[in-house]
């Protein structure tokens, strides 16, 4: 690694946020995932909740900053995902830092099964990990981060938008699972059997109590759509997941709900962003028509170690 770059690990979110705060504030859209997840974990810990305790992962979760020769933080990475293969998520980072991180994890015997985040750093991290472990690198999903600075909300379909309540928790949980399964199907991928398994009724109830899950209800009371709109982090709110059951698609519900939630965020002074699967042309077209514009391409990589003969 470039001698001017150093890696600093953290075992908890608060000191990490203290260290990475200036970077996350300067690049709040790019840092939306890392910031929102870290702040959520911090809120959970403050409330005496440790969701990681139930994960049974073979390593302790961690956060990391990359510093340049002057000590300034130039990138951030976290490994906090509660689903297999427990991938990292990284902001844009120098190739040298990505290779150094792969080596550091390899040296301490921590297999990195997946690396998500901004390109090309996330790919370099995954590729170097695969080389060190004698494993195979697979690009599992290409994603794109979008931001709307203005929004063109389409006409509202019949029905009403309302916040999910605790009475909706089981439905929301079921739709979280269906969202992951059908996203793979729509993109032409085989469904991941582990997708969505990290969601639990307790985690859904936390999101509902935070007021970030929204439902579209038809005039007859049937619930026909789910959209999430996360709490702002460093002034940025992120839409997702967005899910409409097959029998209710084609009515413009998703377009309207995402547009309306985006409008509300922008009017409140919040920058609004979302992610799309690049293999799903429908969602990319919908969000572009609302006014979302691409920010950066990202990808999800898997590192698969061949079975021992």
Summarised one tens digit per residue, pLDDT across range 145-194 is 999 999 999 999 999 999 999 999 999 999 999 997 886 666 565 656 55
Same domain, 126 and 169: no
- Give domain status of residue 150, yes or no: no
At residue 229, the pLDDT reads 97
By C-alpha distance, which of 295, 296, 292 is closest to 262? 292
- What's the token pair of residue 299? 């990808």
Same domain, 75 and 119: yes
Mean pLDDT, 10 residues at a time, over the chain (309 residues)? 86 98 97 96 90 90 97 98 94 97 97 95 97 93 96 97 98 93 64 60 91 98 97 97 95 97 98 95 93 96 83
Same domain, 192 and 273: yes
- Backbone dihedral angles phi then psi of residue 44, each to the nearest 5 degrees: -60, -45
Contact between 243 and 226 (Cβ < 8 Å): yes
Question: pTM of the predicted model, to two decimals?
Answer: 0.90
Number of domains into which the chain is organized: 2
Residue positions counted in the chain: 309
- Give domain status of residue 21, yes or no: yes
- Give domain status of residue 149, yes or no: no
Give Cβ neighbours of residue 131 (< 8 Å, ≥ 6 apart).
none
Same domain, 168 and 284: yes
At residue 227, the pLDDT reads 98
At residue 11, the pLDDT reads 97
Same domain, 59 and 101: yes
Same domain, 200 and 228: yes
Q: How many CB atoms lie within 10 A of CB 25?
A: 13
Per-residue three-class SS string for 45-99: HHCCCCHHHHCCCCCCCEEEEEECCCCCEEEEEEECCCCCCCCEEECCCCHHHHH
Q: In which domain, by residue range, is 118 found?
A: 6-142+299-304
Same domain, 137 and 168: no
Give Cβ neighbours of residue 90 (< 8 Å, ≥ 6 apart).
75, 76, 77, 98, 115, 116, 117, 118, 121, 122, 125
- Give domain status of residue 277, yes or no: yes
| CATH number of the CATH domain containing 270 | 3.40.630.30
Contact between 252 and 193 (Cβ < 8 Å): no
Contact between 213 and 163 (Cβ < 8 Å): yes
């Amino acid at each position: 690694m470039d001698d001017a770059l150093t890696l600093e690990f953290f075992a908890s979110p608060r000191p990490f946020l203290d260290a990475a705060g200036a970077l996350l504030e300067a690049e709040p859209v790019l840092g939306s995932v890392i910031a929102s997840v870290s702040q959520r974990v911090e809120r959970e810990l403050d409330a005496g909740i440790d969701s990681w305790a139930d994960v049974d992962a073979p390593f302790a979760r961690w956060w990391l900053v990359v510093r340049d020769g002057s000590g300034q933080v130039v990138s951030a990475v976290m490994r906090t995902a509660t689903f297999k293969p427990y991938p990292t998520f990284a902001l844009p980072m120098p190739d040298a830092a990505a290779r150094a991180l792969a080596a550091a994890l390899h040296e301490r015997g921590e297999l990195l099964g997946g690396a998500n985040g901004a390109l090309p750093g996330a790919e370099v991290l995954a590729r170097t990990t695969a080389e060190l472990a004698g494993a195979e690198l697979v690009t599992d999903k290409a994603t794109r981060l979008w931001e709307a600075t203005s929004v063109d909300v389409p006409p509202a379909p019949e029905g009403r938008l309302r916040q999910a309540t605790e009475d909706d928790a089981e439905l929301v949980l079921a739709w979280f699972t269906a969202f992951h399964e059908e996203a793979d199907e729509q993109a032409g991928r085989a469904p991941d059997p582990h997708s969505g398994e990290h969601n639990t009724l307790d985690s859904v109830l936390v999101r509902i109590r935070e007021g970030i899950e929204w439902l579209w209800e038809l005039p007859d009371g049937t619930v026909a759509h789910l959209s999430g709109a996360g709490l702002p982090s460093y002034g940025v709110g992120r839409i997702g997941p967005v899910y409409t059951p097959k029998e209710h698609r084609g009515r413009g519900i998703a377009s309207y709900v995402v547009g309306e939630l985006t409008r509300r965020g922008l009017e409140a002074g919040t920058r609004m962003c979302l992610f799309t699967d690049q293999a799903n042309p429908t969602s990319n077209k919908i969000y572009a028509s609302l006014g979302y514009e691409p920010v950066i391409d990202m990808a999800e990589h898997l590192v698969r170690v061949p079975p021992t003969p």
